[in-house]
Amino acid sequence: MLYILFGAIFLLSFIVQTSLKSKFTKYSKVPLGVPMAGRDIAAAMLQQNRCGDVKVTSVSGQLTDHFNPANRTVNLSEPVYGTNSIAAAAVAAHESGHAIQHQEGYSMLQLRTKMVPIVSFASKTMSWLLLAGIMIVEVTPIPLYIALAMFGMTVLFSFITLPVEVDASRRAVKWLEGSGIASGQQLDMAKDALHAAAYTYVVSALGSLATLVYYALMFLGGRRR
């Protein structure tokens, strides 16, 4: 059943990723009704939400867009930063939504930010703990328990990320509509693009949970036998 579950999640992940790329390619060709590139959308949304000190910068790659709370920058990928399109507007507004969350002290974002160093440490060390635990499992299972607990933290982090992303998209859509930048069919396209992006986080969280269950059954269940 676990192998079937993993197969289903892998297939779902492939479908979601393919759909996301297809929709962003499609909506990247649909211009906005106003002459604003992604950088302009982000700057305007930040300014109107009292985040004028947050800088908008360009980063290389595709779908590499992110907000960095450490240096208060909204980092937009090159196709988003300088492009006038529905996709660029949706992504720029979404990342600006994260900056506004940070400005307002959105609780789930604060929790996620506090977990970053813990998850980073866990990601670097749990594979070594798993290896050590397997080697000395007959002596003591403690390293395995610690490794599973660390992996559990990464799973929790994945699920905490979900409401943060959904809220950022909600803010993006609300601002695009309220500002008059997108309406009607164009607003529906922006929503569709953001929903497609949100599904990737859902699949990632489910995949992490399934992996945790697999390890727990394999190591702990095997030990009981």
Residues classed as catalytic: 95
Give the CA angle between residues 48, 30, 173 to the nearest 5°.
35
Beta pairing class for 55-59 and 66-68: unpaired
Three-state SS string over the chain comes to: CHHHHHHHHHHHHHHHHHHHHHHHHHHCCCCCCCCCCHHHHHHHHHHHCCCCCCEEEEECCCCCCEEECCCCEEEEEHHHHCCCCHHHHHHHHHHHHHHHHHHHCCHHHHHHHHHHHHHHHHHHHHHHHHHHHHHCCCCCCHHHHHHHHHHHHHHHHHHHHHHHHHHHHHHHHHHHHHCCCCCHHHHHHHHHHHHHHHHHHHHHHHHHHHHHHHHHHHHHHHHHC
